[in-house]
Each structure stands twice: as C-alpha cells, then as structure tokens.
Amino acid sequence: MKCKNSPLIILLIIMLTCAVLTTSGCSSKDENGTRDAVSGMEVTSGSDNASQPEGGSDNTLVLGEMWDIESIDPINGDGTLICEKAAITETLVGANEDFSLKPELATSWEQLDENTWEFKLRNNVTFHDGSKMTAKEVKFTLEKVISENSKVASMLKMDSIEVVDDYTLKIKTKEINPILPGVLHYPDTAIICPSSYNEKGELVKPVGTGPYKFGSFDEQTRILTVVKNENWWGGKVGLDKLILKGIPDPNTRAMAIENGEVDFTVDVPYSETDRIDAIDGINVEKYKTPRVYKLDLNLKHEPLEDVKVRQAISYAINRSDIAENVLYNVGEAAAGPFLPTMVWANKSLKPYSQDLKKADELLTAAGWVDTDGDGIRDKDGKPLKLNLMTYAARPGLPPMAEAMAAQLREAGIGIETEVMEMGSIDDRREKGDWDLYLAAYNIAMVPDPEYILTNWYMTNGTDNGPGYSNPKVDSLINEARKIKDLNERYKKFNEVEAIVYDEQPMIIVAYYGCAIVKKDYVKGYVFDPTAHDYRINAGMYLENKS
Amino acid sequence: MDNVFTNRLRKKNFSLPEAYGSQFVKRVFQRKDMLFALAALLLFAGLSIFAPLLSPYDPNAIDLKNKNLNPSEEHLLGTDYLGRDLLSRILIGARTSLSIASGVVLISLFLGTATGCAAGYYGGFVDESISRVTDIFLSFPSVIFALTIMGALGAGVFNLMLALSIVHWAKYARMMRGQVLSIKKQEFVLSAITGGAGDFYIIRKHIVPNAIATLFVLATIDFGHVILSIATLSFLGIGLPADVPEWGAMLSAGKEFMRTAPYQTIFPGLAITFIVIIFSILGDGMRDILDPNHEGGEID
C-alpha cells in the first residue's frame, strides 16, 4: 500500500512511550514537533526552489500531492500523476463533466465496422521536444502501452494499429469493443514522444504534449517539477512552474497548507475542512469524484444469500447521516454504482433511506428473530453475526465501518469490524473467509457503464467479490455491449442497474468526495469530475501572491 | 548510626517470609507515595470491575448528530467522532487494559518462574538450553516482536494476551534463574538436600518462596509496560477489534480530530499516563522496601 508512516504517527508513538514521564503539554508539543519535522525535511532536501518562493513575480505553484511520488513512468507507473496532476501528457480522448466523451488529441473517431475504428488526429500539436505529433507517435505509444501495461491492454483488446496518413489512424480490435474510445481517455494511454526513451528503451523523462513539460525529478526528495510549455496547442498556460510534493498523510497536508509550504492540496482530514476553510487566505471546495464507498456482501454465506437480509442491511444503514457526520459532506449518499451526473446513470434510483421498521419486517420474514433477548437476531440457534473488514488507506473507511456496525447492531445484526492491511484482506477474500467488505472503488476508469457493470455484476466478473450471478443481468449486459447507439445502450444498462438496486449484492453507501484546499491567490482552477483524484488545468494562475 | 546498624543486624535474622508479611505492610504504610498509588490503583480496579454499571451510556452506541462534543453535564468527558460517550468508553477501556495486562503478567510470571527455576536449579544442559532460548526472546525489540506475532495471529483479546506473554515471559525466566542460583548455595537449601528432600519439595518450600518477592517487583513494574504495549499495538491498529473500546485505539482514532475536538485524545492519554505512573510508583516502592540496602520508607 502506498500509505507510509507519517511523521505525525511516529511522533504520537513516541508520545505514547513518553506517557510515563510527562503529563502536560501533549497536544501543543506535538503540533510544533510535526511542523519542525516537515520543515526539517525541506531544509535537508536541498532541492532548488522547493521552499516558498518570495515575491509576486515568481509564478510558481507548490502542490501537496496525496501519494508519495514513486515513479514518473507515464505508461506503467503512474499515468494518473503524469497526465492529470502534472499535466505533462494528454490523452486522445477527453471527457465532459457528464462523462460523455469529447475530442482532445484526436478530433474525431468513427467505428467503421465491428472491429475497426478510425481516429483523426489534431494536426497542430507538437511534443515538448519540438517534434510534431503524428499518427506514428500515437502508434508507438499505444503499442508500448499494450506490451507494458496488461491492465490497459485487456481493456483495449487491440489487435493491430495501422497508420493511414500523418493524421489518420486505424485500430483493429480482437473482438467488438464499443468502449475503445472510452479506454483511450484513461491516463495510462496518454500520448508520449519516442524521445522519452533512450536507445536501450529506458525511460529518460516523459515527453508529452501537455501544457506543462517535465523539468526535474529528484530521486531523493521525490519532488517533481514541471515548467510551462510556451507552445501548447491549447493556448496560454497560467503558471511558470509547478512543483509537486508527495505528502501521503492528510494531517501533514493540512499543516503544509496552513504554514504556507504548499499553495494547493487535496483531502485534508474531512473533519478539518470547516476549520481550514475559516482560515484567512485559504479556501476549501468539496466535490464528488468518480469513486464510491461500497460494501461487498459474501453471497456464499448463508444469511447473505437471502435477498431479504441484504435489503434489510441496506435499510438499516443511515447513508445521509454517514455522509454528513462521518464524511463531513465530502461525499454524498448513494443509490447505484454511478454518479447521478453521469450521462448513462439510471437517474430514477434513489438512495435507500434508513427504515428500521422495514428492516425488521424483512429480517423477520427471512426467519431472523431475536429469541434469546441478547439484542442479536438468531435463526435455528445461530446468531446473525457478521464480520466487516476494511482498510485504512482511505480516511473515510474505518470510521464509516464503525458507524455502519453500530447502525446494523440497532437492527439486531451483530457486526465485528476489522481494519486490516490490504494483503490480509486479499488473503481472506481468496479463502472466502469474510462476510462484509467495505472499500472505495473507482467507477470511471473508462467513461462507460459497461466496464463497471461487467466487472461487478456479471457471473465471474473480475471485481465480482460477492459471487453474484443472475442470468438476466448477464444476458442484458451481453446484449447492451453490442449496441452502437449510445442511448439504446444506456437504456439496457439502466435495466441492469435497477435489478442490482433491488437485489443489493453490493451495497453502495456513498459517493466519494474530494476536498480541494487552496490559497485564495490560486485562481482559474476548474475541478474536473472525471479525474481520478483531481486534475491540474492549464488555466490555473496565481494572483498577487505575496 | 547505632540504630541503622542494629536494624541491619536484625534484618539478617529475619526469616524471609516473615519480612514480607507484617513488616512489609508496615513499610508500605510509611510511604505516602505508595499509599497514594495503592489507593489510585484500587480506585481504577474498582471502576473497571463495575464499569458496566457505572458507565452512563452504551460505549459502542453512536449518536452521529452529537459528535465531537466538549465535556458537558450530559457527557462528562464529551463525545468522540461518532458521538460515543467518552467517559463510558474510558471506563470500559480500563477494564480491557487491566484485564489483558493481568492475564499477560500472570502467564509470564508462571512461565518465567517455571522455566527459570528449572534452569537455575538443575543447571548444566537444562540451564544452557533454557538460557539460550530466553536470550533469543530477549534479543528482539519487544514491540516489533509483538507486532510480528499479532500480524500472524490476527486481532483479538486472546491473541493479544498470547502475543504479549510470549514477548514478556523471558524477562521473568532470566531473573528467576539468577535468584535460584544464589539461593541454591545457601545453607538451608544445602541442609535440605543433605536431609534427603526431593527436588520438587525443595523448589516449592525453599526456593520459590525466597525468590518470588523479586519477581513480584518485576511484575508490578512490568504491569505498566504491558499496558503501554497494549495501547501501542492498538494505536497501530493491530491489537484489538475496532469495536472493543481501548485507550490506545481511542488515541489513534482521535488524532485526526486533535485540533477540532482534542478531548478524545486528551482523556485516553491521561488515563494511560495515570495508570502507568501508578504502577511505576508501586514497583519502585516495592523495590525499595525489599532491597536489603534500604531502610524502610526512606531512601538513604
């Protein structure tokens, strides 16, 4: 997992050990200590310009990234970072706010026959090294992606690529693949210049077409610097320089923006958003991102096999209360797997609202009644006790698990929560030794409903953790994926959404939120709801930074 | 001067168990710090035993609308990030910490005494093998060792007790062995052997009663360490299941709210501090009292 021990945690452990010796001044000491640790890191890093630049003339933005920057490989490392957060590369296909596709490096695309696609490219695009972007480079990139990134390769299902002329490209797929343009929106498919690699094929630096070009990457401090691309095809670029620092701990990010170490960051602890927003010179904006908090139910276990029990669980959870008080409104109560703002979402679905009476009726009908008066329902002498596992890398998960456990206990379902490492979770899931699993999932890797619905709800789908199988769902998805007309296609997928909404093999609890925290002098920021976490847009600039 | 001398002489003539009896109690009462610590410990123990009766709310009942409250009349210590009553959780947490720590200390004491006795009394190959095993156990940093064991066993009250006992028993074994080695050479043991007493009889009647006092001192000091270890492990999120109220876990979950609602870290932190200080004072006091070079309550 990417989450490393932060200075704060280490400090708190030391505090705990020192508890024998000291009784006073805990909280204030800790705060200062962590600050020292953070600024200390900066001093020893020795990287140029990493500290707060002085004066308004320097148009440099320092960004506190939410993960450690471990790799700058645009294809098989962190395409999301290079494409969305550093804006070095761009994809062929873009996406609008409602997740419908729009031209980016490709101006248009067309499905010629079942397995052939034709892409027309923009003809005024140059790479950062000055060379023109043509079909040849696009072919180079996509072939490299297929050979190095098996995840994307399996989504592309590409057979061959043919360069028709400088700005036309023909892609043949192995089987019918209507989501191909959608996959080409995925950041790992962003177009790079062959000059990114040396003769041995090793990555030197990512050379793309985006508004910012690669400046430097310090292997020691893991600080990535990108500079303005004067010749960007899209127009004027707002910042001279953008410095990305990985700060994986939310508390540390909060302190970094408060003491002016960074100008822009995301996801400070949700509980602190109001406090930080109230600070002069800093503002917090809350958005929804294409990710959901969802609870997988192990359908192979007896109580959860029963659709009534699953519905009862859904009715026992108070989603809006959780969104408001556990997520501090960085997120929203959810109905189906897709955001209502997505063009293909089934908008008639409403989130299950808490209804303990209905839950009671359903559980009683399923045969679960509390006969021994211990507050936990039972059936044939077996108590209705389930375990709920989750992980801590995403800060909303553990408190959400605890809150849900308490809410389910009110409905007479005993829950034992466990916060585990990813490795142990995978292990337990492999063995089938689990009941409930709370996780956060991305729902727009590909801006199309097919990808998620196939993986989650098809019999033996790759992310079908519950082991759900419904022949009706399978056949609907199979029919829908062959339909070219988007509206017809979405209609079929809406039917699937409605079925799984009733059957609840997975309980979608809430939509994931993202808190953008920035200094008031950062202007021109436009949140992109299709980005994985957040996207840096070319229009961002600094105003009267002092 | 005179007094000290005669006192020392007198002490030489004590049979040890008698010294632990009335004299021990008398000395405890001479020390104000120990009295205070004992009273505080009794208070804590009482609170933890009667925690379910005393706690005003269900420690696991959430009330999301009333989260992160400051201390008030309704919630004497305030509420945590899910609106759970902090006082109730701290009381139940005392129960968790004290009962697990008692279990760990008892298991370690028993294991350590048995192996230490065997090693010290029989010597030779038995001593060599047991001593090397304790060396191995002592060579690991205790928290990391416990972390590894917990990682393998998974969270749970019993597993935590087991893991910490595995980490802690070797200390007792080593101390017991040292005690036995010195007692073994004393005249009353030699005479018992000459008298034809069996090994088990000698260990039970002569060796354990004379050595156990030192181990009790160790156990008292260790009690505080064990409570800290429990808190450390659950702070790291691998000690106990999330729904068992525990001080370390409360600290860990509350750290995110330290600047908006600090009470949920302050109170569990204070609770840990107090209980560890109590055991520290008790352990120190007992060591002073039982140390033949010290005189009663005063440190000279």
Chain A hits for B256, CB-CB cut-off 8 Å, are 250-251, 269, 271-272, 395
Return the residue of B nearest to A15 by Cα. Answer: B269
Chain B hits for A251, CB-CB cut-off 8 Å, are 255-256
Return the residue of B nearest to A273 by Cα. Answer: B260
Q: Are B104 and B231 in contact (CB under 8 A)?
A: no
Examine the domain organization and report whether A412 and A298 are in the same domain. Answer: yes
Closest Cα of chain B to A318: distance in Å?
Answer: 10
pLDDT at residue A51 is higher than 60: no
Q: In what order do the strands lie in the sheet with A106-113?
A: A106-113, A116-121, A168-173, A158-165
Average pLDDT in chain A? 86
Helix H or strand E encompassing A57 = none
- Position A459 in a domain: yes
Examine the domain organization and report whether A351 and A476 are in the same domain. Answer: yes
pLDDT at residue A258 is higher than 60: yes
Please give the structure tokens belonging to residue A53: 């630049």
Return the residue of B nearest to A25 by Cα. Answer: B266
Q: Do B256 and A398 touch (CB under 8 A)?
A: no
Closest alpha carbon to A141 in A206, A204, A87:
A206
Q: Are B61 and B86 in contact (CB under 8 A)?
A: no
- The answer to pTM > 0.80 is no
Across the A:B interface, residue pairs with CB atoms under 8 Å apart total: 108
Examine the domain organization and report whether A313 and A461 are in the same domain. Answer: yes
- Position A446 in a domain: yes
Chain B hits for A8, CB-CB cut-off 8 Å, are 255
- The confidence score (pLDDT) of residue A8 equals 57
Closest Cα of chain B to A267: distance in Å?
Answer: 13
Phi (first) and psi of residue A293, to 5 degrees = -90, 120
- DSSP SS3 for A158: strand
Radius of gyration of chain A (CA): 25
Q: Do A20 and B83 touch (CB under 8 A)?
A: no
Nearest to A325 among B64, B155, B224 (CB): B64
pLDDT tens digits, one per residue of A119-141: 999 999 999 999 999 999 999 99
Q: Which long-range contacts (CB under 8 A, 24 or more apart) does B6-10 make?
A: B7/B295
- The range of the structural domain enclosing residue A448 comes to 291-513
Examine the domain organization and report whether A318 and A194 are in the same domain. Answer: no
Phi (first) and psi of residue A366, to 5 degrees = -80, -5
Closest alpha carbon to A261 in A60, A503, A11, A506:
A60
Distance CA A379, CA A385 (A): 11
Report, as an integer, the average pLDDT of A157-162. Answer: 91
CA–CA distances in Å: residue B17 to residues B23, B113, B223: 10, 18, 23
Strands A116-121 and A158-165: unpaired
Distance CA B263, CA A165 (A): 68
Q: Which residue has the higher pLDDT, A544 or B226?
A: B226
- The confidence score (pLDDT) of residue B21 equals 63
- Position B108 in a domain: yes
Strands A436-442 and A385-390: parallel
Q: Residues with Cβ < 8 Å from A148, sequence gap 6 or more?
A: A75, A76
Name the domain boundary from A166, A198, A230.
A198
Task: Give the burial string for A242-256 (b: 16+ CB within 10 Å, else e).
Answer: bbbbbbbbbbbbbbb
Closest alpha carbon to A314 in A281, A256, A280, A359:
A359
Overall domain count for chain B:
1
Q: Are A532 and A84 in contact (CB under 8 A)?
A: yes
Report, as an integer, the average pLDDT of A356-385. Answer: 91
Residues pairing with A288 in the sheet: A513
- DSSP SS3 for A187: helix
Question: How long a stretch of residues is chain A?
Answer: 546
Distance CA A55, CA A240 (A): 14
Closest alpha carbon to A424 in B288, B146, B279, B150:
B150
Candidates A10, A15, A16, A415, partner chain B, best to mutate (most B CBs within 10 A):
A16
Name the domain boundary from A163, A198, A233.
A198
- The confidence score (pLDDT) of residue A403 equals 92
Distance CA A297, CA A433 (A): 12
Ranges of chain B with pLDDT below 50: 1-15, 296-300
Task: Give the burial string for A47-84 (b: 16+ CB within 10 Å, else e).
Answer: beebeebeeeeebbbbbbbbbebeebbbbbbbbbbbbb
Closest Cα of chain A to B93: distance in Å?
Answer: 16
Task: Give the burial string for A508-539 (b: 16+ CB within 10 Å, else e).
Answer: bbbbbbbbbbbbeebeebebbbbbbbbbbbbb
Candidates B57, B58, B60, B62, partner chain A, best to mutate (most A CBs within 10 A):
B62
- Position A207 in a domain: no
Closest Cα of chain B to A321: distance in Å?
Answer: 7
DSSP codes of every residue in A252-278:
HHHHHHHTTS-SEEE---GGGHHHHHT
- Position A370 in a domain: yes
Q: Are A527 and A285 in contact (CB under 8 A)?
A: yes
pLDDT at residue A184 is higher than 90: yes
Overall domain count for chain A:
2
- The range of the structural domain enclosing residue B183 comes to 100-290
Q: Do A416 and B241 touch (CB under 8 A)?
A: yes
Percent of chain A with pLDDT over 90: 62
B146: CATH: 1.10.3720.10
- The confidence score (pLDDT) of residue A1 equals 40
Closest alpha carbon to A153 in A185, A189, A120:
A189
Closest Cα of chain B to A59: distance in Å?
Answer: 32
Chain B hits for A401, CB-CB cut-off 8 Å, are 242
Chain B hits for A510, CB-CB cut-off 8 Å, are none
Examine the domain organization and report whether A187 and A297 are in the same domain. Answer: no
Give the HSE-up count for residue A511: Cα atoms under 13 Å, Cβ half-sphere.
25
Q: Can you count the helices (H) and strands (E) in chain B?
A: 14, 0
Please give the structure tokens belonging to residue A148: 């190095």
The amino acid at A467: G
CA–CA distances in Å: residue A183 to residues A95, A163, A189, A494: 11, 20, 8, 21
Examine the domain organization and report whether A304 and A194 are in the same domain. Answer: no
Distance CA B81, CA B92 (A): 17
- Position A496 in a domain: yes
- DSSP SS3 for A327: coil
Q: Do A19 and B273 touch (CB under 8 A)?
A: yes
Return the residue of A nearest to B280 by Cα. Answer: A20
Q: Do B241 and A23 touch (CB under 8 A)?
A: no
Return the residue of B nearest to A391 by Cα. Answer: B237
- The confidence score (pLDDT) of residue A21 equals 44
- Position B127 in a domain: yes
Please give the structure tokens belonging to residue B218: 């160790």
Strands A158-165 and A168-173: antiparallel
pLDDT at residue A205 is higher than 50: yes
Examine the domain organization and report whether A185 and A309 are in the same domain. Answer: no
A154: CATH: 3.90.76.10
Q: Which long-range contacts (CB under 8 A, 24 or more apart) does B34-40 make?
A: B34/B281, B34/B282, B34/B285, B34/B286, B36/B281, B37/B277, B37/B278, B37/B279, B37/B281, B37/B282, B37/B285, B38/B282, B40/B274, B40/B278
Chain B hits for A402, CB-CB cut-off 8 Å, are 62, 82, 242-243
- The confidence score (pLDDT) of residue B247 equals 92
- The confidence score (pLDDT) of residue A415 equals 92
Helix H or strand E encompassing A283 = strand A282-297
Q: Do A269 and B256 touch (CB under 8 A)?
A: yes
- Position A329 in a domain: yes
CA angle A321, A325, A331 (to 5 degrees): 80
The amino acid at B141: P
Question: How long a stretch of residues is chain B?
Answer: 300
Chain A hits for B232, CB-CB cut-off 8 Å, are 13, 16-17
CA dihedral sign of residues A480, A483, A489, A492:
negative
Distance of CA A490 to the CA centre of its chain: 23
pLDDT at residue A188 is higher than 60: yes
Q: Per CB distance under 8 Å, which residues of B are interface residues toward A?
A: 60-62, 64-65, 67-68, 81-83, 154-155, 224, 228, 231-232, 235-237, 241-243, 248, 251-253, 255-262, 265-266, 269-270, 272-273, 276-277, 280
Nearest to B235 among A13, A31, A392 (CB): A13
Distance CA B191, CA B202 (A): 10
Distance CA B279, CA B34 (A): 10
- Position A534 in a domain: no
- The confidence score (pLDDT) of residue A71 equals 87
Report, as an integer, the average pLDDT of A364-384. Answer: 90
Distance CA A161, CA A172 (A): 6
- DSSP SS3 for B40: helix
pLDDT at residue A166 is higher than 60: yes
- Position A369 in a domain: yes
- The confidence score (pLDDT) of residue B292 equals 66
Distance CA A338, CA A344 (A): 8
Q: Residues with Cβ < 8 Å from A15, sequence gap 6 or more?
A: A26, A29, A30, B269
Q: Do B83 and A324 touch (CB under 8 A)?
A: no
A488: CATH: 3.10.105.10
- Through-space distance between the first and last CA atoms of chain B, rounded to whole angstroms: 12
Report, as an integer, the average pLDDT of A491-518. Answer: 94
Closest Cα of chain B to A250: distance in Å?
Answer: 9
Percent of chain A with pLDDT over 70: 89
Binning pLDDT at 50, 70 and 90, where does residue A228 land? very high
